[in-house]
């Protein structure tokens, strides 16, 4: 089974079209890894590949080899691949990779759409939270104001009661003094 060792972001252009290059490797019977450069046409079409370009001791070494390929080398490999007919086993694997690449592109579009929806939902949730917080704070302020008014009314009533009680005590004290003065006479 082929394993992706490296991919290139730059597009390669030839008379046959525009391609994205990837390096794939496959373990061989002796434990070494063979490496092929595979070209995926932009906008669809037949995937093409070179013959084995290298043999490396492991997949990491293959990836290291692939990371050093120049744009010129990749153009030459594309030209070689365009003149080759891939082997039957490699062809089946390339078809599978092409389907995977197409499925991945479709999934990426779907995920991008879902991300956009999620961003919009997050913005709506943020706005709803802001509105809810504002309503909550308004409610707290109104309740505090109502509590303050109730406390002020209770304080006024308590002052009036205290004044009435003080007046009653003074009146009583005055009566008591006047009785004492009458008795002394």
pLDDT band at 127 (very low <50, low <70, confident <90, very high): confident
Question: Would you say residue 86 has pLDDT above 60?
Answer: no
How many angstroms separate the CA atoms of 132 and 155, rounded?
Answer: 34
Q: Is residue 14 part of a domain?
A: yes
Q: Is residue 23 part of a domain?
A: yes
State mean pLDDT over 40-55. 92
Angle, CA 135 vertex, CA 129 and CA 138 arms, to 5°: 140
Dump strand ranges (E) for 119-172. none
pLDDT in the model for residue 83: 83
- In this structure, the chain runs to a length of 185
Query: Which DSSP state fits 29?
Result: T
Q: Is residue 8 part of a domain?
A: yes
Question: Would you say residue 181 has pLDDT above 70?
Answer: no
pLDDT band at 170 (very low <50, low <70, confident <90, very high): confident
Q: Is residue 106 part of a domain?
A: no
Q: Is residue 123 part of a domain?
A: no
Domain of residue 33: give its range: 3-86
- Number of domains, the chain: 1
Dump strand ranges (E) for the chain. 3-14, 17-27, 33-41, 48-49, 54-56
Cα distances from 118 to residues 47, 74, 121, 124, in angstroms, run 35, 40, 5, 10
Q: Is residue 37 part of a domain?
A: yes
Q: Is residue 64 part of a domain?
A: yes
Residue 146, strand partner residues: none
| CB distance 17 to 2 below 8 Å | no
pLDDT in the model for residue 90: 63
pLDDT in the model for residue 157: 83
pLDDT in the model for residue 32: 97
How many angstroms separate the CA atoms of 54 and 35, rounded?
Answer: 5
Query: Which DSSP state fits 50?
Result: -
Whether pTM exceeds 0.75: no
Residue 6, strand partner residues: 23
Q: Is residue 114 part of a domain?
A: no
């Amino acid at each position: 089974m082929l394993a992706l060792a490296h991919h290139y972001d730059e597009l390669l252009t030839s008379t046959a079209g525009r391609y994205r290059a990837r390096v794939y490797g496959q373990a061989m019977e002796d434990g070494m890894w063979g490496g092929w450069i595979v070209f995926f046409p932009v906008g669809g079409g037949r995937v093409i590949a070179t013959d084995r370009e290298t043999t490396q001791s492991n997949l990491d070494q293959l990836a290291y080899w692939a990371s050093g390929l120049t744009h010129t080398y990749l153009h030459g490999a594309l030209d070689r691949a365009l003149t080759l007919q891939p082997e039957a086993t490699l062809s089946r694997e390339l078809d599978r990779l092409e389907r995977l690449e197409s499925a991945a592109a479709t999934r990426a579009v779907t995920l991008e759409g879902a991300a956009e929806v999620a961003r919009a939902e997050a913005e709506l949730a943020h706005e709803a939270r802001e509105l809810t917080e504002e309503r909550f704070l308004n409610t707290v302020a109104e309740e505090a104001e109502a509590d303050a008014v109730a406390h002020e009314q209770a304080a006024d009533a308590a002052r009036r009661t205290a004044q009435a009680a003080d007046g009653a005590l003074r009146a009583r004290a005055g009566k008591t003094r006047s009785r004492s003065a009458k008795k002394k006479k």
